[in-house]
């Protein structure tokens, strides 16, 4: 288990920014070498899924449960530059609940260039409709970027900072435009963006010659049902240390998702040892 985590714990400024704005950008979250390795895996998965799903060369490809598609992606579960931010924001009782790969080639020539962000939304599925407002923070996502979206019309993520605190959809003065106060995150490969699931966001359109490749890794509290799995394959869990097993939904007690024992949540014990008992509540 990686002691380098302690080098990247959240600063007070980062925590304040995330609480106020609903997102954090982590530059160089992945090395260029790791970006290259993961891009090879992503391209292989993309080719397989396009064939399986019957997609054309300009179609957007989505794949869930990507974490199990290649052992290399397990490195994202507890990435030293990102994982400490997760426990400082959500705490120790966390799990992976989704891993979602999107590969978005350039739009076909006939697609209108007048459109703005595609599908403004909050993440969360049924809880968005069924929970009373204001919603609590149940989860957050990390988007890892494998293509360069530092330019116009490259499908960069669009967000409305601070919108995670709103009880309704942000205002939209122009019915044919983006939400008011929207910004576009034009970032380089290897960057990670953490964002609160309540943050209003959308995908920008891609009219460039760059294929947009991004992998979303979502974390939630362990008492929520995972979207990626009910039980991960035993052969995948066997490759993982105790903390990764926790993140992949493993446990030793049937009640451990509601009243976890020490064996259910090795991350808690690690934090007590390295951050002090006062850190863990």
Rounded to an integer, the average pLDDT of 217-239 is 83
Residue 229 confidence (pLDDT): 57
Residue 174 confidence (pLDDT): 87
CA distances from 254 to 226, 237, 250, 260 (A): 15, 17, 10, 9
Residue 125 confidence (pLDDT): 76
Q: What percent of the chain has pLDDT over 90?
A: 73
Instruction: Please name every residue paired with 103 in a beta bridge, in sequence order, or none if there are none.
Output: 61, 213
Distance CA 114, CA 217 (A): 31
Q: b/e string for 62-99 if b means 16 or more Cβ within 10 A?
A: ebeebbbbeeebbebbbbebbbbbbbbbbbbbbbbbbb
Handedness of CA 278, 197, 61, 222 (dihedral sign): positive
Rounded to an integer, the average pLDDT of 20-34 is 98
Give me the chain's average pLDDT, please: 91
Distance CA 105, CA 126 (A): 29
Q: What residues contact 113, with CB distance under 8 A and at least 6 apart?
A: 153, 205, 207
Confidence bin at 30 (pLDDT 50/70/90): very high
Q: Are strands 157-159 and 94-104 parallel, antiparallel or unpaired?
A: unpaired
Confidence bin at 21 (pLDDT 50/70/90): very high
Question: For 14-18, 71-75, 179-183, 225-229, which range has the lowest pLDDT when averaged over its residues?
Answer: 225-229
Does residue 233 have a pLDDT over 70? yes
- The more confidently predicted of residues 40 and 257 is 40
What structural domains does the chain harbor? 3-274 (2.60.120.620)
- The more confidently predicted of residues 84 and 126 is 84
pTM above 0.85, yes or no: yes
Reference 94, options 84, 103, 102, 107; nearest CA is 84
Residue 226 confidence (pLDDT): 62
Confidence bin at 75 (pLDDT 50/70/90): very high
Residue 116 confidence (pLDDT): 66
Which of 169-178, 190-199, 242-251, 271-280 ranks highest by mean pLDDT?
190-199
Confidence bin at 133 (pLDDT 50/70/90): confident
Confidence bin at 176 (pLDDT 50/70/90): confident
Distance CA 155, CA 117 (A): 9
Which of 59-73, 164-178, 214-228, 245-259 ranks highest by mean pLDDT?
59-73
Q: What percent of the chain has pLDDT over 70?
A: 94
Residue 1 confidence (pLDDT): 59
Reference 118, options 149, 155, 162; nearest CA is 155
Token pair for residue 247? 């993140």
- The more confidently predicted of residues 85 and 131 is 85
């Amino acid at each position: 288990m990686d002691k380098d985590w302690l080098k990247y714990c959240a600063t007070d400024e980062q925590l304040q920014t995330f609480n106020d704005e609903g997102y954090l950008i982590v530059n160089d979250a992945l090395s260029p070498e790791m970006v290259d390795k993961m891009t090879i895996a992503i391209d292989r998965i993309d080719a397989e899924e396009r064939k399986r799903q019957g997609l054309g060369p300009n179609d957007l490809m989505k794949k869930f449960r990507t974490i199990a598609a290649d052992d290399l992606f397990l490195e994202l579960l507890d990435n030293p530059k990102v994982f400490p931010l997760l426990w400082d924001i959500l705490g120790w009782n966390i799990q992976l609940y989704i891993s979602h790969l999107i590969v978005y080639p350039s739009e076909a020539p006939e697609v209108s260039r007048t459109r703005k962000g595609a599908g403004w939304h909050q993440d969360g599925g049924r809880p968005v409709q069924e929970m009373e407002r204001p919603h609590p923070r149940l989860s957050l996502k990390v988007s890892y970027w494998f293509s360069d979206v530092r330019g116009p019309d490259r499908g960069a993520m669009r967000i409305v900072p601070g919108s995670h605190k709103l009880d309704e959809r942000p205002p939209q003065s122009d019915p044919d435009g983006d939400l008011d106060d929207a910004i576009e995150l034009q970032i380089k490969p290897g960057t990670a963006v953490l964002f609160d699931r309540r943050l209003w966001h959308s995908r920008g359109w891609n009219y460039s010659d760059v294929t947009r490749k991004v992998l979303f890794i979502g974390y939630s509290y362990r008492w929520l049902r995972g979207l990626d799995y009910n039980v991960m394959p035993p052969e995948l869990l066997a490759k993982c240390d105790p903390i990764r097993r926790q993140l992949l939904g493993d446990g030793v007690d049937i009640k451990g998702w509601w009243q976890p024992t020490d064996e259910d949540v090795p991350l808690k014990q690690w934090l007590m040892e390295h951050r002090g008992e006062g850190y863990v509540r």
